[in-house]
Structure 1
Amino acid sequence: MVAQEFTVDLDKPLVFQVGHLGEAYEEWVHQPIVSREGPRFFESDFMESLTRTVWWAIPSIWLPVICYFVLKSVRMGHTLSEVALIVVGGVFIWTLLEYTLHRFLFHIKTKSYWGNTMHYLLHGCHHKHPMDGLRLVFPPAATAILLVPFWNMVKLFSTPSTTPALFGGGLLGYVIYDCTHYYLHHGQPANDVPKNLKKYHMNHHFRVQDKGFGITSSLWDRVFGTLPPSKVAKKI
């Protein structure tokens, strides 16, 4: 007897449904629904509110935090030029972290109930509903939790006086990433550089979803051989 395939009801909260898709989840989540109207995730209004974030909350919340950490390194004896270089180093470290997380965590393959559910919350929802403007940036509460291990990681390979600026640079890289990501989905770039970046990211969503993991640049895709092909054969 063949088990009946599970069908997701898009008119009901999705989070606790998608786990039932099992092995079919991978195909389902990579068939995008292009609509600015985001789906409901939870029955609870409180839980639902935690999944929605306006893009401008990211720079509003985190830029003052970045300034605090950068100035901390200045107060510990570093010159402004030294701190500037350290911050740039932090941004560079973020670009590698951005690529790594997107490739190996956000695109991890799952088929168990809780695996599918957690993946959908983390990144699958973005591929299913790529134009949902309130779920394009990471909720600040979740970011705050993840900053703790990031701080501890930075401390491992930096000195006490450089750690704050390096951490601030990494956090700045994250802010640039999240704002860029929102713009690539909802902005209308007029210049070639952002136009090409938007095309690159839309290609990841709608043509070759297992390539092109860079958001702010294609640097690490070039380094690690995950550039999408220039032309993709049409499916017959």
Structure 2
Amino acid sequence: MSGTLRNPSIRSGRSFDLGKMNLRQLWIAYLTYPTILLYFALIAISFALAIHFFAGEGPTLTAVLAVMLIYPVVWYLLHRYILHGHLLYKSRFTAALWKRIHFDHHQDPHLLDVLFGGPATTLPTIGAITIPVGWLIGGPGAAATAFCTGVTITCIYEFFHCIQHLNYKPRARWIQRMKAYHVLHHFHDEDGNFGITSYVVDRALGTYYVDARSRGRSPTVFNLGYTIEQAKRYPWVMRLTGHAPKDRPDGASRPESERNPQRNSRQVA
């Protein structure tokens, strides 16, 4: 893939470094990334099943709308209470899972390989959320529709998530705001702005903030509370990482907007 992009400097170890990529390079990496290709294949299969077991226009539309409403709420709850929770790293049996699904991403937010959720955890979660909802609405046809919608939303989330860590200033003002709020989540205080494309749930539950002046900088924004002290008590993530938890990422070139999130937030507020 690096040959296709003709810029080996955008790679950091085994992963693409979004801090060194432009928008064109991101499109190429995204559209050829194995996880995204798997998602595209599952979208096509579930769409075909939705047609084969067509539940009717009403149930089909209802299933789509239901998933669109439920998905941001479930993502918020998982992001806040599971991915940012401390329970998983306290067990040797779940430490590797927590490290892969979120700790690595906060340790270095620009690495593409750890930005995408792993299919082994992401797809069962999507299925558990969407298939029962669709089935209750309209049987197998609506269940396939709901799953198709969930995977499609995941692809959209993943692309915009990449944009938020890309060395690129979006032209659209609404994307600039979206990016600024997510930058704050990664570089100022991780206990807020849990959304990706929407911060409606953050607003409703009191975790939304617009700039760095709204709250103090968190000392655990890069390690999610897995400090040196915690690593000594629960060493499994540290052993897998090969070094102590970092209090800031390294090896990635950050754009100016992410080096100064307060300034960036004022510009787009």
**TM-score per shorter chain, which class?**
0.5 to 0.7
Which of 1 and 2 has higher RCO (CA within 8 Å, sep 6+)? Answer: 1
Superposition RMSD in Å: 3.0
Kept in 2, the 8 Å contact 1:92–1:170? The answer is: no
Match of 2:85 among 108, 116, 134: 108
Following superposition, the deviation at residue 176 of structure 1 comes to 1.2
Q: What letter is aligned with 1:174?
A: T
Shift of 1:109: 2.1
Aligned 8 A contact 1:38 1:132 in 2: no
1:209 corresponds in structure 2 to 190
Q: 1:233 to 1:144 in 2, by over 3 A?
A: closer
Q: After superposition, give the CA deviation of every residue in 1:90-110 in whole Å (9 maximum; x if it has no partner).
A: 233222221111111110025
Partners of 2:175 and 2:72 in 1: CA distance = 17
**Would you say 1:123 and 2:98 are equivalent positions?**
no
Instruction: State the alpha-carbon separation in 2 of the partners of residues 82 and 36 from structure 1.
Output: 45
1:218 correspondence with 2:193: no
* Contact 2:134–2:146, Cα closer than 8 Å, also in 1: no
**Matched residue, 1:37:** 12
Task: Name the CA shift for 1:184/1:81 in 2 (closer, same or farther; >3 Å).
Answer: farther
SS at match of 1:158: helix
Corresponding residue number in structure 2 for 1:8: none
Q: Distance in 2 between matches of 1:86 and 1:151?
A: 9
- After superposing the two structures, state which structure 1 stretch, 195-204 or 81-90, moved more: 81-90
For residues 3-18 of structure 1, the aligned pairs below 5 Å read: none
Question: Structure 1 or 2: larger helix share?
Answer: 2
Q: TM-score of the superposition, structure 1-length normalised?
A: 0.66
1:168-223 deviation digits (Å, cap 9, x = unpaired): 11221111111211121114311101110000100001111101110111011112
Q: Kindly state the Cα deviation for residue 74 of structure 1 after the two structures are TM-superposed.
A: 3.2
1:166 is aligned to 2:146: yes
Moved more, 196-205 or 86-95: 86-95
Q: In structure 1, what is the Cα distance between the partners aligned to 2:161 and 2:144?
A: 25
Whole-Å Cα distance in 2 between the matches of residues 60 and 93 of structure 1? 24
> Equivalents in 2 of 1:193, 1:119: separation in Å?
31
Counterpart among 179, 187, 198 of residue 159 in structure 2: 179
Residues 1:232 and 2:214 are matched in the alignment: yes
Q: CA contact under 8 A between 1:204 and 1:210: conserved in structure 2? A: yes
Distance between the aligned counterparts of 1:103 and 1:37, measured in 2?
28
Q: Which runs of 5+ in 1 are unaligned?
A: 1-34, 41-53
Give, in whole Å, the separation in 1 of the partners of 2:142 and 2:95: 40
CA distance in structure 1 between the aligned counterparts of 2:57 and 2:136, rounded to whole angstroms: 21
Report the CA distance shift for 1:163/1:210 in structure 2 as closer, same or farther (over 3 A): same
Identity %: 22
Aligned to 1:11: none
For 1:118-157, list aligned pairs within 5 A.
118-150=97-129, 153-154=132-133, 157=136
How far apart, CA to CA, are the structure 1 residues paired with 2:113 and 2:45? 28
The one-character-per-residue Cα deviations of 1:49-101 (angstroms, maximum 9, x if unpaired) are xxxxx633344222332233234333334456763553243233222221111
CA contact (8 A) 1:201 1:215 kept: yes
Taking structure 2 as the reference length, the TM-score comes to 0.59
Counterpart secondary structure, 2:137: coil
CA distance in 1, matches of 2:115, 2:69: 22
Would the aligned equivalents of 1:154 and 1:163 in 2 still touch at CA under 8 Å?
A: yes
| Aligned counterparts of 1:180 and 1:74: Cα–Cα separation in 2 | 29
Find the aligned partners of 1:85 and 1:158 in 2 and give their Cα distance.
7
Give 1:106's aligned amino acid.
L
Q: Distance in 1 between matches of 2:132 and 2:91?
A: 31
How many Å apart are 1:148 and its aligned residue?
4.8
- 2:134–2:143 contact (8 Å) kept in structure 1: yes
AA matched with 2:150? G
> Aligned pair in 2 of structure 1 residues 198, 183: CA closer, same or farther (>3 Å)?
same
Aligned residues: 188
